[in-house]
């Protein structure tokens, strides 16, 4: 065998190995993208708007199949706008959802579903009304609301029971907050109304998009339902010395279910 023949065989072997490596990488990437599109995708909580249910620094598991699929189910939104989702199903009142912000779809928010298409939603004197009926709440003691800088404020903790029977906690920071009294919101067809559990510190459907809020959320913009907290770390420690960071791990929240 000549030196040239050996070289050709070696080059051919290297070429086949390179093609196999590229194939393996492509398959892995395709499987990851498919899983993130069809099944679930992680999301990090950046704000205090969903306290006490979700904390800043929680990593969430967002399940995609409960509401069907739209272009926003993809890791990178692609395709034309649509009023309907593939295998579409409405959320339940009380579901915690991740969605693309209607006025800026590059931003991703997490809130709780309060109103469904056709519902009337209103706040009066700090109490939530759905379809003209006050939503029951019961006191659950006092707690602390924590912002991204680590500052804490006292908060009244209440348990709210939405129509359909979903119980969930809310925070109330003040007795007369700016969003305690609102007009009646009529949720349009194909949309949902969302609010944060930290009622006095949430830019949500109570605030119109032109004022920096969310407004009504089209069903198309839903990414998925939040089912669990995968892990959690107190982001306020990021400005502290690195040796203090392990203290920020909230081990009790790892693999916990979101109600």
pLDDT in tens, the chain (259 residues): 555 555 455 455 565 565 544 543 433 333 333 334 444 578 889 999 999 999 999 999 899 889 999 888 877 666 677 777 888 999 999 999 999 999 999 999 999 999 999 999 999 999 999 999 999 999 999 999 988 777 899 999 999 999 999 999 999 999 889 999 999 999 999 999 999 999 999 999 999 999 999 999 999 999 999 999 999 988 877 778 888 888 888 999 999 999 8
The CA distance from 238 to 245, in Å, is 7
Residue 49 is among the residues annotated as catalytic for this protein? yes
Q: Which residue in this structure is represented by tokens 């099944």?
A: 39
Catalytic residue among 64, 111, 146, 202: 111
Q: For position 32, what pLDDT does the model report?
A: 35
Selection from 196, 52, 174, 158 nearest residue 125 by Cα: 174
Residue 36 is among the residues annotated as catalytic for this protein? no
State how far the alpha carbon of 66 is from the alpha carbons of 80, 106, 114, 127, in Å: 22, 22, 17, 30
Selection from 99, 92, 102 nearest residue 72 by Cα: 99
Chain centre distance of CA 180: 24
Q: For position 239, what pLDDT does the model report?
A: 77
Q: For position 28, what pLDDT does the model report?
A: 32
Q: For position 14, what pLDDT does the model report?
A: 60
Q: For position 243, what pLDDT does the model report?
A: 85
């Amino acid at each position: 065998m000549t030196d040239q023949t050996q070289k050709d065989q070696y080059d051919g072997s290297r070429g086949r190995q390179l093609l196999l490596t590229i194939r393996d990488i492509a398959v892995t990437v395709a499987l990851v993208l498919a899983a993130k599109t069809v099944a679930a995708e992680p999301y990090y909580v950046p704000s205090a708007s969903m306290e006490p249910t979700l904390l800043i620094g929680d990593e969430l598991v967002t399940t995609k199949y409960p509401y069907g699929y739209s272009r926003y189910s993809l890791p990178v939104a692609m395709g034309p706008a649509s009023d309907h989702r593939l295998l579409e199903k409405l959320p339940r009142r009380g579901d915690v959802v991740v969605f693309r912000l209607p006025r800026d779809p590059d931003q991703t928010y997490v809130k709780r579903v309060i109103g469904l298409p056709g519902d009337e939603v209103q706040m009066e004197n700090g109490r939530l009304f759905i379809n003209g009926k006050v939503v029951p709440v019961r006191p659950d003691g006092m707690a602390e609301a924590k912002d991204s800088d680590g500052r804490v404020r006292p908060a009244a903790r209440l348990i709210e029971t939405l129509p359909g029977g979903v119980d969930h906690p809310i925070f109330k920071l003040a007795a007369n907050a700016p969003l305690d009294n609102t007009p009646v919101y009529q949720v349009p067809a194909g949309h949902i109304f969302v609010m944060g559990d930290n009622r006095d510190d949430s830019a949500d459907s109570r605030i119109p998009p032109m004022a920096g809020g969310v407004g009504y959320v089209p069903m198309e913009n839903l990414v998925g339902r939040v089912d669990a907290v995968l892990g959690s770390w107190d982001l306020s420690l990021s400005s502290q010395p690195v040796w203090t960071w392990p203290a920020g791990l909230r081990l009790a929240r790892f693999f916990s279910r979101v109600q």
